[in-house]
Amino acid sequence: MQEVPKEDEISFTLSDSEIQSIEENIEDGQEEAVETAVANLNAPDCAELLGKVSDEHRQILLDQHASAIAPDAYAELDPELCKDVLEDMEAPQVAEIISSLESDDALEVIENLDDDFQKEVIRRLPFKTRISVEEGLNFPENSAGRLLQRKFISIPQTWTVGETIESLQASSDDDIPEVFSDIFILSVDSKVSGKVSLPRLIRSNNQTRLESLALEEIYSIPATMDQEEVAQSFRRDNLLSAAVVDSEGRMIGVITIDDVLDVIDEEAEEDILRLAGVKEASIFQDVITTTGSRFRWLFINLLTAIFASVVISLFDATIQQLVALAILMPIVASMGGNAGTQALTVAVRGLAMKEISKINSFRIIWKEIIIGTINGSLFAIIIGLTTTLWFENYALGIIIAVAMVINLIVAGFFGAGIPIFLNRIGSDPAISSTVILTTITDVIGFFVFLGLAAVFLI
């Protein structure tokens, strides 16, 4: 009886031991073993192998075992690594790889190449692939036109179920996609008039006309629509696929759920990185470029920190007279910053998911103010009593309690308000919200706490 693996033993990725085994075979010159191991890997695992081995071993794999690497593996690579790998090859070799890919994967791979090399590769593509790639590159970056697959199943609206099935059976592998879930019904002018799911087609009588089976509601996506809006449409309407149409409403391709999953992952990753002030996440990006992109945000953060320090310097005499203030200052600022970040994260997520708009934005901000008030009051009691017992000064305990309440209210207001305001004026709320919020909570926290201490204690 075959033993079922335990839950913690199940892995959908290439294990470190498997990678180490392949590297050892490379070092020992076991070319046949390496060739067999690489050839048996699926595309994602092969991409993971190329991404994790050393630069030297990767080059050996690409030079000596390129025939064992499936073309799809290049589409699974980190974009930065894929660019570096392909640009080390000759243009004819890259063209051969790209011509083996689905149209959407081919476009994703080729769009990252440097312009001159990209043009050289495109010139060497087969005519049909070249036309498809050139048309795709003409669409805006991150648009539906960059995501679409050129292969799709479309049937004239006058056909019956039997005619459709016969046509599918007679089609060659080059004419239809490997996987599809929907059949699109087109009018004589190539406009989408309906869509029939594959299960419904198979269960229907052969004499039934397709237009009678079509869904009443048609989802057609303009080729210029932003990919984030595409993902929202799929999520909202529970789509598996959708037709992509040109400016005249003619169907030119299809977007499927697997493409949208990649978009959702990409957009979520981008928002997370921007919240941290990081432009690129690739571990394969060169040191100088990465350093430069991070330096800009760190420099802005330095300026905001100096501004907060200037506020503190206004109360230097007060701090000198009561050293306890210097000990307690970070507590107020830290709690405000953390509370604000919580509100900010919820707001940015709500904006990204289209759950926040003009009609409910004030309610969201008001809710965060209430949450800030309640949490501020609770923590005010805790820190107020702690401070009173610690420094045996009830007045200091009251002051830090009041400062805590005010700063958490401010954190809730600005944490939700800043991203909503930035979104309202057309700016990406994920880019600079964190820096602005941290500055506000630090400055207000220090000013309120030290200001109250200067008035009532000194």
Note the CATH architecture for domain 14-143.
Alpha Horseshoe (1.25)
Is pLDDT above 90 for 408?
yes
Task: Indicate the angle between helix axes 127-137 and 103-110, nearest 10 degrees.
Answer: 60
> Residue 199 and residue 296: Cα distance in Å, rounded?
54
Is pLDDT above 90 for 375?
yes
191 bridge partner residues: 250
Given CATH 3.40.190.10, say whether it is the number of domain 287-456: no
**Count of H helices and E strands in the chain?**
22, 6
Is pLDDT above 50 for 402?
yes
Tens digits of per-residue pLDDT, 39-91? 999 998 999 899 888 889 999 999 999 989 999 999 988 888 899 999 999 99
Give Rg (Cα) of the chain: 29
At 200, the pLDDT band (50, 70, 90 cuts) reads confident
CA atoms within 13 A on the CB side of 124: 15
Q: Which residues contact 325 (CB under 8 A, 6 or more apart)?
A: 315, 318, 319, 449, 450, 453
Q: What predicted TM-score, i.e. pTM, was given to this entire model? A: 0.67
**pLDDT attached to residue 1:** 41
Is pLDDT above 50 for 23?
yes
Note the CATH architecture for domain 154-257.
Roll (3.10)
Residue with tokens 């005499």: 317
> Residue 389 and residue 385: Cα distance in Å, rounded?
6
Tens digits of per-residue pLDDT, 139-175? 988 899 988 888 888 888 888 889 888 888 888 777 7
**pLDDT attached to residue 2:** 45
**pLDDT attached to residue 7:** 47
At 271, the pLDDT band (50, 70, 90 cuts) reads low
**pLDDT attached to residue 129:** 87
> Residue 171 and residue 233: Cα distance in Å, rounded?
31
The CATH 3.10.580.10 domain(s) of the chain lie at 154-257
**Across residues 326-338, what is the average pLDDT?**
89
Q: Which residues contact 204 (CB under 8 A, 6 or more apart)?
A: 161, 213
Is pLDDT above 50 for 422?
yes
**pLDDT attached to residue 303:** 79
**pLDDT attached to residue 282:** 57
